[in-house]
Structure 1
Amino acid sequence: MKSLIRLAAVAALATLTLTTLASDSSALAIGEVAPQTDVALQNVDGKSLTLANVAGKKGTLVVFTCNACPFAKAWESRVAKLGNQALGQGIGVIAINSNDPSVNAEDSYAQMQSRAKTLGLKFPYVVDAHSNLARAFGATRTPEVFLFDAAGKLVYHGAIDDNSRDAKAVKEPYLRNAVAAVASNKAVTLAETKSIGCSIKFHEKSSD
């Protein structure tokens, strides 16, 4: 009987592990191109745009983030600074909120508009109204970044840096290094890191 219980526990653990691996592996792979680049997204200025609209000559930075997550809040000033600087380096930038605002009102459109103004964002902060873009990218966390090169291929995916709590204590500025490489037409030496943050609060899938 004990052997059967042990086998059941092992099977359950294996299933959980496979589920986790499947979830992790669903993310866009290095070298792949961005999906759904022609889908219209509402920006905080009230206008609609697409990923194709914001693509830069040197590359494109896509940041899945939100207003409510403590990790997103901890990194938001760094994201704003890096994003604004990247624009000047020929890299298009877009921040995307895929969270369902019914889960937390802090992720409402009005709150997004306020946050963008407070942070001084020079790049779009858009609504992923049905979380379809996050699903297409395989994004699961906020914040989670995807950086594409001039050819439109993914060259970096993961975290902003190695310290969400203290910007002054950062030892590995992953995204800054990757942006610098792309802006200089050089290879990104560290292509993937683990995204640390809150789970995306996905909208329910449409029944259509």
Structure 2
Amino acid sequence: MIKSALYLSVCTLLFSSFLPANEASLELGATIPKADTRLTDISGKEVSLNAAKSNAGLLVIFVANQCPYMLRNEQRLQSICETAHNNRVGVVMINSNEAGRNAGESLAAMKEYAAQRKLPYYYLVDRNAEMADAFDANHTPECFLFDKTGKLVYKGAIDDSPGNAEAVKNKLLHNAITEMLAGKNVAVATSSALGCNIKRKM
């Protein structure tokens, strides 16, 4: 029994050493993490989050090309990004799936994904999941909304039914954007992001 417990402890320690060393959870009111770090956009430009931020704020969404939850949320995601963009909120999509860079999450695949959907927003490669770690982002899609001063006012899901658009009762991100633009406190400022795990390199 003692040997089994010791073996389990050693295995747990070894496995945990391969897990990402995420930074502390990003709290409401926090400033944009690594705001001046430049990431490669699908256009070839090097873009920082500060540069992408617009007059009314910044919406950062961690996404993937192949995640089933992304496919289920595509129309909702495009609609909310358009709403943000039309209200002078900068929009950035970030792909942190480092484990899939040689396959469906490569820069070439990202370009193809964006072209097929005619995405007019920044779509950035997050090398070594540096941004995902800084944001403590773990799922796709996962959303972070910052106000005009660069302070975090909402984090979490697009809405309360990521698996089924017809069952949505609370448009969490849409409401957060509306309340932020109106100068109000966001009523529901955090929610659980349900989706595919961000695939960091082991």
TM-score interval for Structure 1 and Structure 2 normalised by the shorter chain: 0.7 to 0.9
Q: Distance in 1 between matches of 2:28 and 2:47?
A: 25
Aligned positions of 1:71-150 closer than 5 A: 71-102=69-100, 105-150=103-148
Aligned-pair CA distance for 1:75: 1.2
Amino acid paired to 2:129: S
Amino acid paired to 2:189: A
Cα RMSD of the aligned pairs, angstroms, is 2.6
Q: Is the Cα contact below 8 Å between 1:95 and 1:123 reproduced in 2?
A: yes
How many equivalent residue pairs? 191
Secondary structure at the residue paired with 1:83?
Answer: helix
Secondary structure at the residue paired with 1:201?
Answer: coil
Distance 1:131-1:83 versus aligned 2 partners, 3 A rule: same
Q: Which moved more, 1:37-46 or 1:98-107?
A: 98-107
Residue among 143, 161, 170 paired with 1:163: 161
Cα deviation, 1:21-78, whole Å, max 9, x if unaligned, reads xx99932001111111111111111211110111111111000111121112211221
Q: What's the counterpart of residue 170 of structure 2?
A: 172
Runs of 4+ in structure 1 over 6 Å off: none
Amino acid paired to 1:26: A
Normalized against structure 1, the TM-score is what?
Answer: 0.83
Distance 1:119-1:185 versus aligned 2 partners, 3 A rule: farther
Amino acid paired to 2:59: L
* Structure 2: gaps spanning 5 or more residues: none
Q: What's the counterpart of residue 154 of structure 1?
A: 152
Distance 1:104-1:26 versus aligned 2 partners, 3 A rule: farther
Aligned-pair CA distance for 1:104: 6.8
Normalized against structure 2, the TM-score is what?
Answer: 0.85
Q: State the percentage of identical aligned residues.
A: 38
Residue among 38, 44, 47 paired with 1:46: 44
Q: What's the counterpart of residue 198 of structure 1?
A: 196
Q: Distance in 2 between matches of 1:140 and 1:54?
A: 22
Secondary structure at the residue paired with 2:173?
Answer: helix
Amino acid paired to 1:192: T
Q: Is the Cα contact below 8 Å between 1:98 and 1:201 reproduced in 2?
A: yes
Aligned-pair CA distance for 1:165: 2.9
